[in-house]
Amino acid sequence: EVEACYDRARALCSELGDTPQLAPVLYGLWSYRIVRAQHRAAYLLGQQVVALGDMVNSTDLQLEGHKAIGWSHFFHGQFARAREHLQIALSLYDEERHGGHAYTFGDNPGTSAGACLAEVLWLLGYPEQAFQRMAETVAMLRRITHPYSVAFGLDLAAFLSEYCGDAPAAEALAGEALMLSEKQELAFIGAMSAILRGWARAEQGDAAEGLRQMQEGLRTQEATGAEVVKPYWYSLLAEVTFRVGARSNALDLLDSAEAALQRTEERYWEAEVHRLRGWFFEQESVDTAEAHYRRALEVAGRQQARSLELRAATGLARLWHSHERSADAFALLQPIYAWFTEGFDTRDLRAAAGVLDEVAPQMSRMPSGGT
């Protein structure tokens, strides 16, 4: 029904030659496609908004179009391209001039592009730049009053906190977003908030309540018809489920994540789906675990997702080290770890450094070559 309304509005604008009114309609269709994880169609709509902006020489439309394209590239796992378009959008954004866009296009372009760029920077392997960009975005959120933009932005900040394993920060951000979503009846955003807050609860020791909140949030989101972010949600739920000892259920959730990947072509969390499967199989089959870790490394490398590549390499190196393959573990992990220039106090880099520290003594005790 929503799609039909937007299609009719687009047809009317075309018939009347009403170019200025066409852009919000195209953007509305883009939002609809994104929520339903129809990312190829969404990307094409973003391109149309940019083309429209170029045609009428409107930086306002160029801003919205580049933001939309950046988000579409993000979901496709094309992170370098996403960064390029999001940076263009932010270079065009003026807080005073474009604040009203939230009421025309549905959300604030500065906070939306800024938060997405922060996640992209983290995925590309620049955690400190990601934290700085997100801090600037949250500061901007405190200056605006558009409820959807604020709640959505807070949830995006909670996503980044989850990536980094910062459960207290994720709980605070998602909890604030949930309160606002319930007050404003934003069901889709509220469901995201509930899942993220549930993860934070589980991470801090209350696994039963955390899982309950995550499952309830996922049911609520599915009731809205949303398909977006499902591979991530299933993966997050699978990890918590595995940690409480329900391996079979966790593998079923990864099957759901992979099915969503294939159904929607939403690729940004694909490497993690394979990494988690590798981890879950470590005690059952080393060969199977290794194959999934290698698949995660291949996907992350292709996407230039250095942070996810590091996670997969750390998992595989730890597995190899535990099976007396310390040289292989070091050869795999050391160059990936050495690529990083920042964020050495973050969870993933500390974990990688810990594995390298374990491997190094074994390396020194290995027999040298020669006669």
Q: What is the DSSP string of 102-169?
A: HHHHSS-HHHHHHHHHHHHHHHHT-HHHHHHHHHHHHHHHTT---HHHHHHHHHHHHHHHHHTT-HHH
**Residue (of 151, 150, 84) closest to 120 by Cα position:** 84
Q: What is the pLDDT of residues 129-146, one digit of tens each?
A: 999 999 999 999 999 999
Assigned domain for 120 exists: no
Residue 243 predicted with pLDDT over 70: yes
CB 123 within 8 A of CB 82: no
Residue 48 lies in a domain: yes
Counting Cα atoms < 13 Å in the Cβ hemisphere of 113 gives 29
What kind and span of H or E run contains 339?
helix 326-339
The residues, ordered by sequence, that sit 6+ positions from 36 with a Cβ below 8 Å of its Cβ are: 225, 226, 227, 228
In a domain, 142, yes or no: no
In contact, 240 and 211? CB cutoff 8 Å: yes
CATH number at residue 28: 1.25.40.10
Angstrom distance (rounded) from CA 70 to CA 68: 5
Could you list the beta-strand ranges (E) of the chain.
Answer: none
Give me 268's structure tokens: 């940004």
What is the pLDDT, as a whole number, of residue 222? 93
Domain span at 40: 1-107
| Least trusted range by pLDDT, from 30-39, 73-82, 85-94, 211-220 | 30-39
Residues 6+ apart with CB under 8 A from 284: none
pTM above 0.75, yes or no: yes
Distance separating alpha carbons of residues 162 and 198, to the nearest angstrom = 11
- Does some domain include residue 234? no
Q: Among 20-34, 44-58, 248-262, 350-364, name the one with the lowest average pLDDT.
A: 20-34
**pLDDT interval class at 363 (50, 70, 90):** low
Report the C-alpha gap between 128 and 241 in whole angstroms: 30
Per the domain annotation, does 189 fall within a domain?
no
Indicate whether 50 belongs to any domain.
yes
pLDDT at residue 3 greater than cutoff 60: no
CA distance 83 to 66: 10
- CA dist 86 and 186 (Å) reads 25
pLDDT averaged over every residue in the chain: 93
Nearest to 109 by CA among 128, 89, 85: 89
Q: Which of 12-21, 173-182, 215-224, 284-293 has the lowest average pLDDT?
A: 12-21
Report the C-alpha gap between 71 and 77 in whole angstroms: 10
Query: Average of pLDDT values for 90-110?
Result: 93
Number of domains present in the structure of the chain: 1
In a domain, 263, yes or no: no
Give the span between the Cα atoms of 266 and 203, in whole angstroms. 26
Task: Note whether residue 62 is domain-resident.
Answer: yes
Percent of the chain with pLDDT over 70: 92
